[in-house]
Structure 1
Amino acid sequence: MSNLNLEKVVVKRSVMTIFIAMSFLIITGLLSYALLFRENLVTDWYMDVVGSENVISAGTTNDLHIFLYDEEGNPIKNANVKVILDMPEMVHYIKKPMRHVENGLYEAEILLSMGGTWVGWVEAKRGSETYINQFLLQSDGKVMSNDFRDPKDHFHLDQPLPPVIQQQLD
């Protein structure tokens, strides 16, 4: 009988040992992945939004141009760049990829669905480096119908409007 008890103990310990070893390997792997592939937020790059002082007409397609530069003032030519457009107090969230044109100049086609102040959020990734910045755009015009809105714009007329916009519609 003592032989059977010894076999049960040996089997139980080997299963526990395998479980502990696998847990250690999984945790070590996850920590290594997090350390090697973590995002590094860069704060010394800068951008220049071309024509941001101009007013954009709502309901018409416009090209948005942004120059990106690194910490030494060199154009960033190999980043994955996207822009998100939204309005304070509203729910729009238009997300667009930007393509590199030349010498650090990136562009995206945008279609704003109403007049007012829009906030642009630029996210540029190069390897593990990520640069994030914001800018403002001014747009003129009324609230556009679906035919003159970006299909990716999450805005709809059923959501509550800010009091200032509601007063303009009344």
Structure 2
Amino acid sequence: MYNTTAVKNPEVCLNMWAYLDEQLGVIHRVAAKGYVLAGTDDEKLAVLHQLAKTDFLSAPWQELPSHLTAVIPHVGNLPGMTTPAGLNDDNTLMSILEEVCKSVDKNLPTQVRTKGTDHEEFCLKIPNEPLYVLTVVVEYSDGRLEPVITK
């Protein structure tokens, strides 16, 4: 006999990492990973925070949307980048989140389940307002990658 635990109300949640170039002070790429989690929002966030410390090393990265531009004094306009302050701007963050969700969504695998005497395929999707944790990863010129973990 099997020992089973039914997963009730599974939700695709996200960890996102924004890579900060320590020298220029700009974010030039992001990474994201989707997780199917169950439980309360606090329980899900606890898992995401724990995984944020290391999972950026196995998450595929992508460029920022090309319409974003970081303006850096004495350097100029840097298209496809933003500043850490830009992550606090709702429009910038939503633009990044939208692209990340598309990428993660298309990589969620199709599953199969038995329905009566038939089988049916299904695929979980990221909700319209996903639960996520955003972590900045500082990229140093010596090659170190250090996530900035805050609560």
Pick the TM interval, shorter chain: under 0.3
Greater C-alpha Rg:
1
